Amino acid sequence: MAADRLVNYGVEERIGIVTINNPPANALSSTVLNELEEVIGEIERDDNVRVGIITGAGSTIFVAGADINEIKTLDSSVKGEDFSTKGQIVISRIEDMKKPIIAAINGHCLGGGNELAMACHIRIASELAKFGQPEINLGIIPGFGGTQRLLRIAGHAKAKELILTGDMITAKEALSIGLVNRIVPPADLLKQAKELARKIASKGKIAIEFAMDAIKTGMTSSQEDGLKQESRLFGKICETADMKEGIAAFIEKRNPDFQDK
């Protein structure tokens, strides 16, 4: 990709690695959102990519929020709603992907950054990371999904506390409320994110996609509908060559060789 881009992208061992590089805060400007959307499309289209990782450039900031200089120009409800909707569309597209996306949170993860991380399917944080929705301190509210995803992840009470106070929390507290899956030493962050991505990428593509589909249905529908979708997908996967290979490999005590068929 061009050197002047704010969102860098590369592929390594079937892992699409996305780095937001918009110093000093890696802010989510309209340009960053547009480039991020382009990269998401590349991950979706590339059959060689099984898993994505999103991280921030540098060692202290994942994404510290939306672009304040751009927000201060939003002097009408139409402009504000358009900006919010654009961010929601891009971030929701990540959440809706069939391929798992891991957030490797290397530092401050605030406002739009926390909203971006929450849309990722798995979140690994540096021990030095800080989390929050500080929009209330600017006289505004979260606009990229923070009022919705945070309450679903952390619960109503904690979401209200964080959104209404604008307070930051540590990685340790983020782990305790389910906002991140694990915390690791800063130097090990990307290494552990890649190890996890490789483990997932080694599984069958069909099983990954079906599992993601079933989980998404369960998150957006009733349990009854989720169970029906699980059964439907389980039935479909029983007709695949990968299912036969996986069972055979287990019985023969060897690693499976999935062919995505």
User: Which residues are catalytically annotated?
Assistant: 115, 135
Query: One-letter amino acid identity for 94?
Result: I
Neighbour-count burial for 165-176, b at 16+ CB within 10 Å, e otherwise: eeebbebeebbe
